[in-house]
Amino acid sequence: MNFIDITKKAVSFAVTAGVSKIVHDIIATNVDMEKTHHKVTVPIASFAIGGAVADAASDYTDDFIDEIAGVIVQIKDRFKK
């Protein structure tokens, strides 16, 4: 595993943790769980929404890291000449 892959994993972990917290807090603040079935279904939906958003955010950050790595390689190549 190279430096870029390790960086992607670390950033992905941080993004997933942050997104999960944000989604949980939004739902906890805005959803009234009055009925018994809400106490079961809302946390499950929260988990699913958090996972979907975290996947999209991780894909975005992976692409961003790849883009930065590409720019760094181009800069290094220019100075080698």
Q: pTM, whole model, 2 decimals? A: 0.76
- Cα atoms in the Cβ-side hemisphere of radius 13 Å centred on 29: 6
pLDDT of 68-78, one tens digit each? 999 999 999 98
pLDDT band at residue 81 under the 50/70/90 scheme: low
- Position 44 scores a pLDDT of 92
pLDDT of 8-61, one tens digit each? 999 999 999 999 899 989 998 999 888 999 999 999 999 999 999 999 999 999
CA dihedral 43, 48, 52, 53 (to 10 degrees): -10
- Position 37 scores a pLDDT of 92
